[in-house]
Amino acid sequence: MQCAIAPSHVLQAMNLGENIIEGALRIGIGKFTTKEEIEKVSSAIASAVKAILSLK
């Protein structure tokens, strides 16, 4: 797993606003990514979003 600190050059090339770029979550899925891995990360993201939204 990689974690980048710098803004994505791809999102910058799409001329997205800095607030969108800084809030973006980019996930790579390849031919060796398993269904179980996708389901696990999907669940983790959904839980994190729910927790964040409950802070408002």
Domain that holds residue 47: 9-54
pLDDT of res. 7: 87
* Per-residue CA distances from 7 to 32, 34, 39 (Å): 26, 27, 26
Is residue 2 situated within a structural domain? no
Is residue 19 situated within a structural domain? yes
pLDDT of res. 1: 59
Instruction: Give this prediction's pTM.
Output: 0.66
Is residue 42 situated within a structural domain? yes
Is residue 3 situated within a structural domain? no
d(CA 15, CA 30): 26
Is residue 27 situated within a structural domain? yes
| pLDDT tens by residue, 1-56 | 566 678 889 999 999 999 999 988 878 899 999 999 999 999 999 999 999 999 97
Instruction: Count how many domains the chain has.
Output: 1
Is residue 1 situated within a structural domain? no
